[in-house]
Chains A and B, each alone.
Chain A
Amino acid sequence: MNHLIGLSRRSVLLTNRLPIQTSIRTALNNRDWRPNEDAPVSPEDRAATARKYNILEEDYKPLPPERNAGDMPDVAPAGKYFDRNPWEDYDYAADRQNWNEPRHPEDHIKYDKTRLGHGPEKQPIILKELLKLLVLPVTFILAAYGLRSLELMTPTFRSPKVEPGVVHYSFEKNDDSGHGVRY
């Protein structure tokens, strides 16, 4: 059973194996989920099933009955996704599969746990990522500062500084009002 899950007997990766064990047993032994076809015995039947599965007649070998496979052939695994030749011209390149090729139950894994990269060379450096986030705002700020001389959005003069000899005027009438009130 553990070879179907992909674990050794003493693996601690999956401590509660009972649910998956019972579901595997159910899928394999439930009478409602048995295959329609039985394993062929006569040579004509064997030839017909070999033609159905697109295998040569001498290569066709059904699985033993306790595997509950029907007439499915005992095919050697072609290899998982990463074990297959990447430079071959597949019909389905994203899956590295060809049309109507025999597939083995062990080859359904495309992303294997042992092949995922969790090493230090693949972990993101947080400070570097944060600095990347600062690139766009900093360029915008520097551009706004550098283009100040173009005076894009400022229809005003700069405030006049208080100089001893110079008089600046407001827009109110000079009618001697507001004495004692500094503007």
Chain B
Amino acid sequence: MGLNFSGTIDRARNPERYPDKSKGPTFDSMYGFPDGRKPKIAPYTEEEMQTLNIPLDKRDYCAHYFRAMMLCTQQYWPSQYAYCEPERHAWDQCEIKNKIDDAKEYERELRLRRRRLRKEEVAAKLNSTEKEISKNEE
């Protein structure tokens, strides 16, 4: 809780040190990945999602797992026994993977920002030292 409060205050005072959640990642996605990054494949297109009646909140990269759970639930409803637990577990694991990827993106953005600020600081220091040397030379 204390870290949360101090972090909030630091974020308010130095917003350039932290990523902006409303904007998302701003750096190049492939910067720093020599072997590239695997693209995420959407399971259904927009039209397919509409046809399959998937809820709007669940139209993401785990929609195929959700559809499997949906069909299983429709089959066994109104029973409340865990007949569809494997399907639900698979969907939940997919969502967890996506959330971990979101956290990794945030961390990458944060580190790249700090790195940029450090580079600017170093450049500013070098410029100031060069200016002093030139002044002394004159």
Contact = CB atoms under 8 A, between A and B. Distances in A.
Contact of A153 (B4, B39, B61, B99): B4
A155 B60 contact: no
Contacts, number: 87
B122 interface: no
B60 A170 contact: no
Contacts of A9: none
A66 interface: no
B89 interface: no
A33 B107 CA distance: 87
A170 B37 CA distance: 6
Contacts of B94: 183
B46 A159 contact: no
A41 interface: no
A109 B46 CA distance: 82
A169 B94 CA distance: 15
B127 interface: no
Interface in A146-165: 150-162, 164
Nearest to B95: A159
A167 interface: yes
A169 B107 contact: no
A163 B33 CA distance: 24
B24 interface: yes
A172 B41 contact: no
Nearest to B109: A157
Given A151-B21, A159-B99, A174 B38 contact: yes
A157 B19 contact: yes
Contacts of B46: 162, 164
A174 B35 contact: yes
A45 B37 CA distance: 114
B107 A157 contact: no
Interface of A: 150-162, 164, 167-175, 178, 182-183
5 contacts: A151-B11, A152-B8, A157-B19, A169-B30, A182-B43
